Structure formats: structure tokens, C-alpha cells
Amino acid sequence: MDYQAILEEIHHEVQPLIGSGRIPDYIPPLAAVPCDKFGMALKMTDGEAFSIGDADEKFSIQSISKLFSLTLALRLSGTSIWERIGREPSGTPFNSLFQLEYEKGIPRNPFINAGALVLADIILSHTSNAMDEYLSFLRLLTDADSVLFSQTVFQTEADAGHRNRALANLLKDFGNLQHRVEEVLNFYFSQCAVMMSCKELALACLFLAGQGVSSIAGKVVNLRRAKRINAIMLTCGTYDAAGDFAYRVGLPGKSGVGGGIVAVVPGVMTLCVWSPALNSAGNSYLGTKALELFTTKTRLSIF
């Protein structure tokens, strides 16, 4: 298949949609990104790569970081993490306290904020400098020297993060955080503030298309674990719109409010698309549309 031609078609077809969706205004550094940005990158398990648009521009990965947290926590702690986090879709918005209270401090899955806070706590138990470890892991996955997080984005989110602070305190109250609330939050906000490009993110996820193995990083996790991370992405990866994303796109995917979405075609490739304006469910408006066009054109939906 001529993937470059398909990317060009998609790029062309999403142009009229620029201006749709909304850029979130509660994180000023994100609000400053021009709404006409659009980038897309593919990375094949055989090593080939394709891209279009602003695929080299770094953006704030936000909740896509949860995918790397999950993988890192599984590497450090194994399946024992499931004693502290569920694996079911949440049915409520990604930052709801209601469900956490109702289910007595066990987050429904690792991809809602409460789940990622528990992942952060788990990683903190296994390393003396968690953020260094986290960035090292991203460098391993991408073979890049340069993976960093934005101090500005971090600070803005730390200052405004009252709801995440509420979640973390509730987790602490239920005994599901071992470290100090502020320590967990700092690590969590730092992860969200990591800056990466579409090309880097497609590369970083390649192990999920390769049964756990990446041409760059070698064996990241085993086959079974790679499949299971994909399964969780499919059922829980796009907040309260996981059902709709599966229905429209038909691929495991993980989105962030920075406008990025990574997706996996198991055995074939990873994709990353980026455009900052979001739909009502908090996923990139153009990004979701671009992925839907991609699976329609290529018939690569897993279904």
C-alpha cells in the first residue's frame, strides 16, 4: 500500500475541518498553540516510516504519558499493579471523583487520571529519581537524546491542578498512595509535560505493534503483555469516548489533551497524529477524523 499517498489524501481531506473543535483554555501553554497545526507519522514494524505536515514539531504529550507509565510500571512491578488498579472502561469522565469514591479508591483503569496517579506512585517505589527513569525509558524507546519535559507546562498544570490534587488526596485517604501526595503529583505533572513529536511518539510505541519488540529498543515487554496493553488501550484509551473511537477508528489508541493520539495496528505499524483542537470528548478533533479516514482507506481496522 502507498502509505505516503494515503497520508497526503488524509492531509488534504482534513483541511476543511481546520477551525473545528476547541483548544482547551485551562492550560495557557496549550492554548497558545495555533489551531491549524496538523502532523501525522507512521512507523512500520519493518522499519519503514512515513509522515506528513507538522510531524517533527514537539507538543505536550499529556495523557499519552499514561501509556508509558503503564508499560514502565509493568516492567518494574509486574501484574501486581492490578491489585491497585482495575482494567474496566470507566463510563464517566477521565477526572471523575465519583467513581473513585464509589469504588473505594481503586481507579477503574490505568488511563484515567486516578489510575495514572497510582502508576506514578508505583514507579516512585522502584527508583530514586522517578522522572529521570521515566525520561530514560522514553529515550530508550525513541533512541533520542533529547526527550525533555517543559518546565512551563509543568508549572502551569501544577498550579492549576486542583482536581488532580483532589483525586490524589482521595487516593491517599483510601490508602492507595504510598508516597506523599505532592511527590506523586509532581511526578505526574512532569510526565504530562513531556514534549515529543509525532515521529518520536510513533517510534516510542513501536513495541506495541511488534509483539513487545521494537527495532530500536529491542524487547520492551513480552508478547502477552504487549497484546494486553493494546487491549486496555482499546477499551479505555480515549476517556469517555472509547466505545465511539473503537466504532469509528477500530484501533487501540491513546489520546492526550495536547492534541496527540497514538494508535497501533498490531503486527503492522504504529501511528501518531497531532492537531491541537479537541472534540467534546477531549480527543483531537482532526486527529480522530484522520485516523478514521486512515482505517477506512486501508481497511486496517482490527475488526
Instruction: Summarize as ranges the residues that interact with a copy of itself (CB under 8 A).
Output: 86-92, 96-99, 101-102, 108-109, 162-163, 165-170, 172-173, 181, 223-224, 226-228, 230-232, 234-236, 240-244, 246-247, 250, 252, 266, 296, 299, 301-303
Least distance in Å: CB of 139 to a copy of itself? 26
Q: Which residues contact 83 (CB under 8 A, 6 or more apart)?
A: none
- What is the set of active-site residues? 63, 66, 188, 239, 257
Residue 208 backbone class (left: φ over 0; alpha: ψ -120 to 50; beta: rest): alpha
- In the complex, the smallest distance separating the C-beta of residue 269 from a copy of itself, rounded to whole angstroms, is 14
One DSSP character per residue, 111-144 reads TSHHHHHHHHHHHHTT-SSHHHHHHHHHHHHHT-
C-alpha cell at 263: 494508535
Q: Which amino acid, one-letter code, is at 295? A: T
Tell me whether residue 56 or residue 182 sits nearer to a copy of itself (CB atom).
Answer: 182
Which CB sits closer to a copy of itself, 177 or 278? 177
Q: How far is the CB of 108 from a copy of itself (least distance, A)?
A: 7
Shortest reach from residue 146's CB to a copy of itself, in Å = 31
Least Å distance between CB 227 and a copy of itself? 4
Grid cell at residue 101 = 469514591
Grid cell 529491542 — which residue? 218
Closer to a copy of itself by CB, 164 or 197: give it: 164
Strand positions, DSSP E, the chain: 39-44, 49-53, 59-60, 148-149, 194-196, 213-214, 218-219, 253-255, 260-265, 269-274
**Considering the complex, what minimum distance in angstroms separates the CB of residue 204 from a copy of itself?**
18
Q: Quick one: 126 or 224, whose CB is closer to a copy of itself?
A: 224
**Which conformational region is residue 93 in: left (phi greater than 0), alpha (psi within -120 to 50 degrees), or beta?**
beta
Cell of 33: 498553540
Nearer to a copy of itself, 73 or 194 (CB): 73
3-state secondary structure of 275: coil
What is the per-residue burial (b if ≥16 Cβ within 10 Å, else e) of 255-283?
A: bbbbbbbbbbbbebbbbbbbbbbbbebbb
Q: Which is nearer to a copy of itself, 4 or 163 (CB)?
A: 163
